[in-house]
């Protein structure tokens, strides 16, 4: 489960950086963060799997922050353009 969290987090991070992947980055980032928390909280897993889950959670939160920041900036820019054109 830790590997899955890492893979999802890196895909979300790449999607957040791609111009057309903002919403995919937000969705995958949320899913990867949840998977990372679940992987970290498993007591029966070995240390590397738990560490991979924690690292996946960290990268997923970075991807979520990037994608959400891009969304907020886009929303602000569209609002400013509509004010200027009205």
User: In this model, does residue 69 exceed pLDDT 90?
Assistant: yes
Average pLDDT over residues 61-75: 94
- Domain span at residue 70 reads 2-85
User: In this model, does residue 55 exceed pLDDT 90?
Assistant: yes
Residue 30: strand, helix, or coil? helix
Number of domains the chain is built from: 1
28-52: buried (b, 16+ CB within 10 Å) or exposed (e) per residue? Answer: bbbbbbebbeebbeeeebeeebbeb
pLDDT tens profile 7-34? 999 999 999 999 888 999 999 999 999 9
User: In this model, does residue 2 exceed pLDDT 90?
Assistant: no
Task: Supply the pTM of this predicted model.
Answer: 0.86
Neighbours of 58 (CB within 10 A): 13
């Amino acid at each position: 489960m830790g590997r899955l969290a890492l893979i999802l987090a890196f895909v979300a991070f790449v999607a957040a950086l791609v111009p057309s992947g903002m919403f995919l980055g937000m969705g995958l980032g949320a899913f990867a963060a949840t998977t990372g928390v679940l992987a970290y909280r498993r007591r029966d897993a070995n240390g590397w799997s738990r560490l991979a889950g924690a690292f996946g959670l960290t990268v997923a939160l970075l991807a979520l922050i990037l994608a959400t920041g891009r969304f907020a900036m886009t929303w602000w820019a569209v609002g400013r353009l509509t004010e200027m054109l009205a």
